[in-house]
Amino acid sequence: MYTNLILLVSFVAQIWAAPNKQNDGMHPHLPVNPIGSLKVDPAEDTSAYWNENAQKTVQEIISRQLNENVAKNVILFLGDGMSIPTIAAARVYNGGEEIQLAFDKFPYMALSMTYSVDKQVPDSATTATAYLGGVKANYGTIGVGPEVPREDCLGMLNVSNHVLSIGYYSQLQNKRTGLVTTARVTHASPAGVYAHTAERDWEADSDVLDSFKDPTVCTDIATQLVYGETGKNLNVIFGGGRNRLLPEEIEDEEGHDGKRVDGVNLIEKWLEQADDRQYIWNRDQLLALDTSNVSSILGLFAHAHMDYNLDRDTTMDPSLAEMTKAAIEILSTGDNGYFLFVEGARIDMAHHDAEARVALDETIEFSKAVQAAVDLTDEADTLIIVTADHAHTLSYSGYASRGNDILEFGGNGIDGRVYTTINYANGPGYKMSDADGSRHDISEDDYGDDHYAFPSVAPLDSETHGGDDVAVYARGPWAHLFTGNLEQNVIPHLMSYASCVGTGYTACDAAN
């Protein structure tokens, strides 16, 4: 009995003594189990504080006036892979549990169901067809309906299978249009604005050849950007991906080879289509633009995807907020309004690598871009939607005290070893057991490294998407329509209703 008691006391002592290890000093944190917790306001310890805050919110909600103006402008922000746990964790990363991101302040919100026609958990291609084109389709396809299986070249050539985006319909109403992304401009999400393809990976003709298809028949996405009915009419194209537009024998401005094998320089071909077109490739050129005097502009700021913000050369590479600001200023010079698509693409890519710190930092950069749009636009005539295409497997759990570093420990397991607040269901952060068979001691890792791969349950080279619903935030004309639980493909139909574009029922029809 005494032996068992000694073992129990020893085990409890191990748990309480489990390392609250300080990292490199750059990210100090509170202990996992401190006495008390961090308060933003000492008054939080009173019931009156919470009652007063709640009553203030009630008054704000009941005083809202419905905005039923026609939306002259529509901006769709897409946080790629920005799951609800990602948003909650990003708030803490940004300063505290109570900190609101820019879109948290929007008055209306819905949930979006993201599954595709053939998959429980979707990818960024089929979801782009849904939230931009209004039709759910098959995994890996963009801008074509569910009639087209993946890699069905003949099916994608049949124009009756094409799904037309809200960008296309906005152009029909003489609105200016644009896209901004931190990925390649030919990547799955931005391609949803202008492309029709049975394979998301066919970004250049060499990619089509890699699939043993004929690129003269299966038109690659970059070619559709330059010559396609919607792509060729875009006024603003900002992002990465020079390599998909340049031949392999040509180096770009930073010494990287192109990927095209047809010998066609699509950047030059894009410029040749009109005398007033401009091409830029670095931050200085972007910031030097006279945005009041730009008709059409192509800005390619990286040979492939743009760098993560934490790795970004701020002297050469613009931020997402800077690109967004310039795009809005350029598009605002038109008389008939505009449609703009803005993607924070690299939230998703960081999650795939289980690099939670990077993913949360990219979410904050995305929030800054949303705030830039809020600051530049008028809620009376501009509808802003913020959503995600799909979730990820990141979880936010444990019983860490208020104010604890979101990227450190959430508590201690019954084995006396710590576990992180942020974890993934699968991915490259899987930790093998120690030599003695015990759970890996995470406290010994260099978890303060920006690119540390956070723990996962199952080992995979790349963490998967999640199938849970994602949030939709709305501000501006007809924003109150974005409530409840929506099929993802309803989103562009509501945007079209608010802005009186497309072939469906619109606010202008209702007014007549």
CA distances from 403 to 46, 95, 400 (A): 19, 9, 8
- Average confidence (pLDDT) over 412-434: 96
Q: Which neighbouring-strand residues pair with 238?
A: 180, 299
The percent of residues above 90 in pLDDT, for the chain, comes to 91
Distance CA 88, CA 96 (A): 10
Q: Quick check: 455 pLDDT over 70?
A: yes
Residues 6+ apart with CB under 8 A from 246: 252, 257, 258, 259, 260, 265, 266, 267
The C-alpha angle with vertex 134 and arms to 129 and 136, in degrees rounded to 5, equals: 60
pLDDT tens digits along 177-234: 999 999 999 999 999 999 999 999 999 999 999 999 999 999 999 999 999 999 999 9
**CA nearest neighbour of 301 among 250, 247, 253:** 253
Give the residue ranges of the annotated binding site: 80, 187, 189, 343, 348, 352, 389-390, 465
Task: Say if strands 470-475 and 108-113 run parallel, antiparallel, or are unpaired.
Answer: antiparallel
- Average confidence (pLDDT) over 33-51: 72
CB 338 within 8 A of CB 177: yes
Phi and psi of 455, rounded to 5°? -60, 150
CB 245 within 8 A of CB 266: yes
Distance CA 79, CA 48 (A): 37
Q: Quick check: 431 pLDDT over 50?
A: yes
CATH code for the part of the protein at 73-393+468-511: 3.40.720.10
**CA nearest neighbour of 492 among 71, 66, 76, 185:** 76
CB 439 within 8 A of CB 40: no
pLDDT bracket for residue 478 (50, 70, 90): very high
The token pair that represents 151 in the structure block: 């890699």
DSSP letters of 284-303? HHHHT--GGG-SEEEEE-SS
Give the residue ranges of the annotated binding site for Mg(2+): 80, 187, 189, 343
The token pair that represents 289 in the structure block: 């633009």
Instruction: Mean pLDDT check: name the lowest of 105-119, 153-167, 434-448, 471-485.
Output: 434-448
pLDDT bracket for residue 5 (50, 70, 90): very low
- Average confidence (pLDDT) over 234-240: 98
The pLDDT value recorded for residue 41 is 81
CB under 8 Å, gap of 24 or more: what pairs does 308-316 form?
Answer: 308/346, 308/350, 308/358, 308/361, 308/362, 309/361, 309/362, 309/365, 310/357, 310/358, 310/361, 310/450, 311/450, 314/283, 315/283, 315/284, 316/282, 316/283, 316/284
- Residue 92, burial from CB neighbour count under 10 angstroms (0-12, 13-18, 19+): buried
**CA nearest neighbour of 78 among 482, 362, 394:** 362
Residues 6+ apart with CB under 8 A from 1: none
CA end-to-end distance (rounded Å), the chain: 86
Q: At what angle do helices 356-376 and 320-331 cross, to 10 degrees?
A: 30
Reported in sequence order, the residue ranges of 333-454 that DSSP labels E, i.e. its strands, are 338-344, 382-387, 391-392, 395-396, 409-412, 418-420, 422-427
CB 426 within 8 A of CB 393: yes
The type of residue at 121 is: V
Query: Looking up tokens 């103006």, which residue turns up?
Result: 69
Give the residue ranges of the annotated binding site for Zn(2+): 80, 348, 352, 389-390, 465
The pLDDT value recorded for residue 42 is 86
Q: Quick check: 35 pLDDT over 80?
A: no
The C-alpha angle with vertex 298 and arms to 292 and 303, in degrees rounded to 5, equals: 140
Distance CA 191, CA 179 (A): 9
**CA nearest neighbour of 427 among 345, 352, 349, 346:** 352
Q: Quick check: 11 pLDDT over 60?
A: no
Q: Quick check: 15 pLDDT over 60?
A: no
The type of residue at 482 is: F
The pLDDT value recorded for residue 301 is 98
**Residue-averaged pLDDT of the chain:** 92
**CA nearest neighbour of 199 among 130, 260, 242, 149:** 149
CB 232 within 8 A of CB 185: no
Task: Please tell me which residue in 112, 116, 124, 395 is annotated as part of the active site.
Answer: 124
The type of residue at 417 is: R
DSSP letters of 445-493? S-TTSTT----EEEE-SSPPEE-S-EEEEEESTTGGG--EEEETTHHHH
The pLDDT value recorded for residue 39 is 54
Give start-end residues of each CATH 3.40.720.10 domain in the chain: 73-393+468-511
DSSP letters of 56-110? HHHHHHHTPPP--S--SEEEEEEETT--HHHHHHHHHHTT-TTPPPGGGG-SEEE
CB 106 within 8 A of CB 60: no
Instruction: Please indicate whether residue 124 is annotated as part of the active site.
Output: yes
Give SS3 for 344.
Answer: strand
C-alpha dihedral (111, 117, 122, 123), degrees to nearest 10? -120
